[in-house]
Amino acid sequence: MTDTMNWSRQCDHVVNKLRSVCFLFTKLRRRISASLLRQVYFSYVQSHILYSIVIWGGSPHLERVSVAQKRVIRAMAGVRFRWSPDQTDSCKPLFLQFNILPVFCIYIVECVKFVKNNPLKFTLANETEGSRSYSTRNKVVHDCDLYVKSATLQMTAQDPNVMIARVFNHLPLALKLSVSDKNFVNYVKKLVGEHLFYDKFEFFGHNFE
């Protein structure tokens, strides 16, 4: 952790862990089945990504972790990196092939889990505004949304609760209203698995309605 709480050191730590296992996947790819290779991924890669990601996953330095994760996915598939105009989408078929979520999608799922497991840590928007729905910066906020205190983009990255609430609020309204808590996380996992968001710009820029 740095004194500015931008989580750059934590992201660097995860990146180093992921880079160190790339060669392992290059060797294992020809020796074991795809399903077993996927199990190794969850043991040696996803475990490092998951560790406390709800705290540091909103960091702008998460992009470095995303790049390192894509390098591992390419090693698993035996695909070398080649720049192309469609570079941002080049790994998405590989994520689908192995049924693995990009790092920001993992962060979204973990944020939802945190909200559902810790409801008392958050306040509903209608409990602070006193109305069924209201608008803020041209976005309608509903009863099921969480209250988000005003913050700059830099402050948002430093305050996990703000980012977690914003991630939750951006989910489709129909999903938040119709799905029970028991199945909610699974539905969110399916949702992000269909879109494979690489970063917060893709996610917050997507219109689910």
Q: Buried b / exposed e across 115-139, counting CB within 10 Å, b at 16+?
A: beeeeeebeebbeeeeeeeeeeeee
**Domain residue spans of the chain:** 8-100, 109-204
The pLDDT tens digits of the residues spanning 105-141 come to 999 999 999 999 998 888 888 776 444 444 444 456 6
Structure tokens at 126: 């209608």
Alpha-carbon gap, residue 29 to 36, rounded angstroms? 10
21 CB burial (10 A radius; 0-12, 13-18, 19+): buried
Amino acid at 81: F
The pLDDT tens digits of the residues spanning 62-111 come to 999 999 999 999 999 998 765 555 555 579 999 999 999 999 999 999 99
pTM for the structure as a whole: 0.86
The answer, yes or no, to whether residue 10 has pLDDT greater than 60, is yes
Picking from 63, 87, 79, the residue whose alpha carbon sits closest to that of residue 25 is 79
- For residues 41 and 25, the answer to whether their CB atoms sit within 8 Å is yes
- Whole-number average pLDDT of the chain: 85
